[in-house]
Amino acid sequence: MPSASTERWSDVVLATLKANDVRLVTYVPDKILIPLIEGAHADPFFTAFSATREEEALGICAGAWLGGMRSVLMMQTSGFGNVPNALASLAVAYQIPVVLLISERGSLGEFNVGQVWSSRVVEPVCYALGVPHHVIERAADVGFILDRTIKQAWATQQPAALVLSPLLTGGKVFAA
């Protein structure tokens, strides 16, 4: 596992995905996730593509799992609001270990009020569905938390969610 102190958080995420044989990267485009999206597209190890909606991407990840391929779903917190039904009726119900990487909007200087409200649903929805979830705030924690979350998801056959805090990513700031 790479050292977070010598690499960017996004490089550690990609290296940790590779170390865990996570080959499929589905995402709904998001500015904060650009380093991960571009990195996955640039590396032939990954098959990376955009979905039109988050619940579509979750279905693709579920199909990949059933076909023997590990995957990750990347989105922002506002997009997470689209996935509770798919999580509950597919991933949780059928024990499919979909790993969600969620860029956090709605806190620490957020300028879009819609993002503030939608970001508040991630934790209670995960809790209600029994989906393990963690917030990653420090670059030094990225590799450990992601690696252990992936391993636990596969071992227990349950989805898991990781929220990438603006403390880690820098977030999205309104330029006045």
Q: How many CA atoms lie within 13 A of 158 on its CB side?
A: 13
Tokens at residue 20, please? Answer: 């865990």
For the segment 86-132, what is each residue's pLDDT rounded down to a tens digit? Answer: 999 999 999 999 999 999 865 656 666 666 567 777 898 999 999 99
**Model confidence at 148: pLDDT above 80:** yes
Work out the mean pLDDT of the chain and round it to a whole number.
89
Tokens at residue 102, please? Answer: 């969620």
Cβ within 8 Å of residue 8, ≥6 positions away: 35, 139
Structural domains of the chain, ranges and CATH numbers in brackets = 9-169 (3.40.50.970)
**The pTM of the whole model exceeds 0.85:** yes
For the segment 69-91, what is each residue's pLDDT rounded down to a tens digit? Answer: 999 999 998 889 899 999 999 99
For the segment 20-42, what is each residue's pLDDT rounded down to a tens digit? Answer: 999 999 999 988 999 999 999 99
Question: pLDDT at position 7, please?
Answer: 74
**Model confidence at 50: pLDDT above 80:** yes
Question: pLDDT at position 171, please?
Answer: 75
Question: pLDDT at position 164, please?
Answer: 94
Place 2 in a pLDDT band, splitting at 50, 70 and 90.
very low
The CA–CA distances, whole Å, from 48 to 12, 54, 106, 142, 167 equal: 17, 14, 26, 21, 26
Question: pLDDT at position 1, please?
Answer: 46
Place 67 in a pLDDT band, splitting at 50, 70 and 90.
very high
Q: Name the DSSP class of 27.
A: E
Q: Name the DSSP class of 101.
A: E
Q: In 75-165, where does DSSP find H-type helix?
A: 77-80, 84-86, 113-119, 122-129, 142-156
Q: What span, in angstroms and rounded, lies between the C-alpha atoms of 37 and 66?
A: 24
